Amino acid sequence: MTDATPLKLFNSLTRQLETFEPLHPGEARVYSCGPTVYNYPHIGNMRAYVFADVLGRVLSFKGYKLSHVINITDVGHLTDDADAGEDKMEKMAAKEAKSIWAIAEHYTQAYWADIKALNIRQPMEWSVATKYVPAMIAFAEKIADKHCYELDSGLYFDVASVADYGRLARAHTEEGEGRIEAVEGKRNAADFAIWRKTPAGETRQMEWDSPWGRGAPGWHLECSVMSGQLLGFPFDIHTGGIDHREIHHPNEIAQNQAFCCSGGLDVPGNSGAKLWMHNNFLVERSGKMSKSSGEFLRLQLLIDKGYHPLAYRLMCLQAQYRSELEFSWEGLGAALTRLKRLVMAVEQLRARLNDEGGSVIEGAEPGPKFAPLREAFAAAISDDLGTPIALTQLEQVVALKKVDLGQKLAVIAEMDAVLGLNLLALTRAELRLKPKAATITEAEIEEVLAARRQARADKDFARSDALRDDLAARGVEAMDGDPLGWDWKLEA
């Protein structure tokens, strides 16, 4: 289905909802800032990619041919966004006593595993920063004369050389600019390195020759170069988390302005992209989101505790992307229950359709009962990706009675193509993950449960309770009368 409801998206640069109008008819070109592959992503990072994925799916739903690029930062990102601190990659390589290349490979694979587990679609291109270093040097050469100056430590961008520097940050924070680095000789406090020279007498594991000496590119440069090269300036949408509104994106914007035209930001597109979109943070009160805390919240930790990763995706969809989302295990449990209900209902529908010898009729216009729900769904996602409401429309379709089964499943498939919960394939059995810590086998659980059923049939409630307590001691909660028909649950 292509739907004609105008798509409204919030542009962080203008602070307004704007109607999406593609720069190239029928196409949507999107760039998303990707991970720095020095460590595992935490689930907050993954919220940024669930958001970018939903955006891409909505654009596809609207009929646009999507060109999506996500970068992999394997060089240049310091421990502080504003050019200070150590190189994140070098630091981890030293800590793990591995080469930087091995670090990048390992954590890129780990990131991709999370992408897959969350049913995030593959972008057109994963652009890897180290493959673009010559292009970054060429970009820097083009802007160096008019916009940069050299210091002992590197080539710096003069933020006063472009109009409206920092507008994106000022639109969202009182002070305006984010944290800035004190480097002797900088012309403006916010000036940033686009090339970092290797200090004399040192060698870095990753370094390249450049007109400004041996060294490595600054982190902001890579996104300007890869987005411009792969999507062409200006492109439609640039995404990232709200932290990037402070430093990384203002600096990218300044570089893009310098590269394209030096024009001010009143002209949409001079920033390099027409729309700048940012997801709000996933927060957790006890600080488990911080990668410096011992056991931080990785997707694998959720899986190890028995939560299917798509329950986390659903949890993200329950909040609009611009709202802060608080993580809690209870919240995740509730999202898993909601997902189970959907999966079980759709599984039953599929089985019934199969028994009747019918099939999912895609492409055909579904009957009139579906129309209001489909319209409400389209309206919700067109209103700045209103996934919380869209989810309830999907649930109402699932609950519809006396409608054609094939059509119903087709409408569910159409909505799930946007939400990405994999409802047409996922089974109830796949959703029940055994926590890693659990040693009891399913056969053992079934045995005790059978004995318990017998005890209850015999009205031997003391024995029944004892069996339940025995299970509880082994981490299994027996769930009598669970509306979802799950008779047991493993506690992590």
Structure-token pair, residue 20: 């999406």
- Measured from the CB of residue 219, what is the shortest distance to Zn ion in angstroms? 7
Closest CA to 220 of 422, 324, 341, 76: 76
Which of the choices ligand AMP, Zn ion, none does residue 165 contact, using the CB cut-off of 5 to 8 A by kind? none
**By CB under 6 A, what part of segment 142-161 binds ligand AMP?**
none
Report the C-alpha gap between 229 and 38 in whole angstroms: 25
Asked whether position 33 contacts Zn ion by CB under 5 A, the answer is: yes
Between vectors from CA 152 to CA 149 and to CA 156, what angle results, nearest 5°? 30
Q: Does 123 bind ligand AMP (CB under 6 A)?
A: no
Residue 281 binds which one of ligand AMP, Zn ion, none, with CB within 5 to 8 A depending on kind? ligand AMP
Q: Residue 196 in contact with residue 215, Cβ under 8 Å?
A: yes
Q: Which of 13, 33, 223, 421 binds ligand AMP (CB under 6 A)?
A: 33
Q: At what angle do helices 329-355 and 309-317 cross, to 10 degrees?
A: 100
Q: Which partner, ligand AMP, Zn ion, none, binds residue 223 by CB below 5 to 8 Å per kind? A: Zn ion
Residues 35, 76, 123, 250: which binds ligand AMP (CB under 6 A)?
35
Q: What are phi and psi of 457, to 5 degrees?
A: -65, -35
Q: Does 277 bind Zn ion (CB under 5 A)?
A: no
For CA atoms 181, 184, 188, 194, the dihedral sign is negative
Query: Is residue 80 a contact residue for ligand AMP (CB under 6 A)?
Result: no
Smallest gap from Cβ 223 to Zn ion, in A, equals: 3
> Looking only at residues 284 through 323 of this chain, which bind ligand AMP when binding is defined by CB under 6 A?
289
Instruction: Answer yes or no: are the C-beta atoms of 197 and 212 closer than 8 Å.
Output: yes
- Residue located via tokens 């109009």: 163
Nearest to 316, CA basis, from 292, 299, 300, 293: 299
- Residue 12, SS3? coil
Residue among 386, 285, 289, 280 nearest 324 (CA): 280
The least CB distance from residue 190 to Zn ion, in Å, is 17
Using CB under 6 A as the binding rule, whether residue 56 contacts ligand AMP is answered as no
Contact segment (CB under 5 A) with Zn ion among 30-38, 204-212, 354-362, 482-490 equals 30-38
**Residue 57 contacts residue 26 (beta carbons within 8 Å):** no
Asked whether 139 and 272 are in contact (CB, 8 A), the reply is: no
Contact mark string toward Zn ion, 205..234, x via CB under 5 A: ------------------x-----------
- Tell me which of 66, 140, 282, 317 binds ligand AMP, using CB under 6 A: 282
For residues 194-253, which are near ligand AMP according to CB under 6 A? 240-241, 243-244
Q: Supply 88's token pair.
A: 């994140």
Picked from Zn ion, ligand AMP, none, the partner binding residue 192 (CB below 5 to 8 A depending on kind) is: none
CB of 207 to ligand AMP, least distance (A): 22
Neighbouring-strand partners of residue 383: 8
Residues that bind Zn ion (CB under 5 A): 33, 223
Residues that bind ligand AMP (CB under 6 A): 33, 35-36, 44-45, 47-48, 240-241, 243-244, 279, 281-282, 289
